[in-house]
Amino acid sequence: GLPPYDPQNIFARILRGEIPCKKVHEDEFALAFHDINPLAPTHVLVIPKGPYVSAADFHAGATTEEIAGFWRAVGAVAKSLGLEQPGHRLITNMGPHSGQEVPHFHVHILGGRPLGRMLT
Ligand code: 5GP
C-alpha cells in the first residue's frame, strides 16, 4: 500500500508557511506556486491542502468537495496564467516508478512553449 503521509515533507512545510514559495493562487482547497526548478517558461505546482501522498490517496480519501475544489483550482490557475489557450500539460507523478520526489500530491502545470509529444 501507500506510505503514510509525512507531515514534514517540503510541501506540508510550504502549506504551513514554514518555507516560502512564489504563490500564484490560494483558496480553501488548493495552493499553487512556481516550481523551484522550472522545466518550462511556466511551471507551476498545484497541491491540495489535505494530507495526501499521491493521486491515488487523494482520489480515494478526499471528499467530493475537496476533489472538485482542487481540480477547479488547477483549471483556474492554468487559465489565469494564460495557458488555457495555446495549451499546456498536466503531470502528476505517483510512487517509485514515476520518480515522485515530494510525497504530497501535486499536479505540475507546464506551458509557455510548445512542449512536444511526451507520454513518458
Ligand atoms: P515530483 O518529482 O515529486 O513530481 O516533483 C517535485 C517538484 O517539486 C520538482 O519539480 C521540484 O523542482 C519541486 N520542488 C522541490 N522542492 C521544492 C521547494 O522547496 N519549492 C518549490 N517551489 N518547488 C520544489
76 lines ligand 1 (CB under 6 A): no
Angle among Cα 41, 46, 50 to the nearest 5 degrees reads 165
Q: How far is the CA of 63 from the centre of ligand 1 (A)?
A: 25
Complex confidence, ipTM: 0.99
In order along its 120 residues, the chain shows pLDDT tens digits of 678 999 999 999 999 999 999 999 999 999 999 999 999 999 999 999 999 999 999 999 999 999 999 999 999 999 999 999 999 999 999 999 999 999 999 999 999 999 999 888
* 88 in active site: no
10 lines ligand 1 (CB under 6 A): yes
pTM: 0.98
Q: Which CATH class is domain 1-42+85-108?
A: alpha beta
Tell me which residue has its CA closest to atom 5 in ligand 1: 101
Non-local (6+) Cβ contacts of 57 within 8 A are 2, 5, 105
Q: Count Cβ neighbours within 10 Å for each residue of 42-72 and write b for 16 or more, e otherwise.
A: bbbbbbbbbbbbbbebbeebbeeebeebbbe
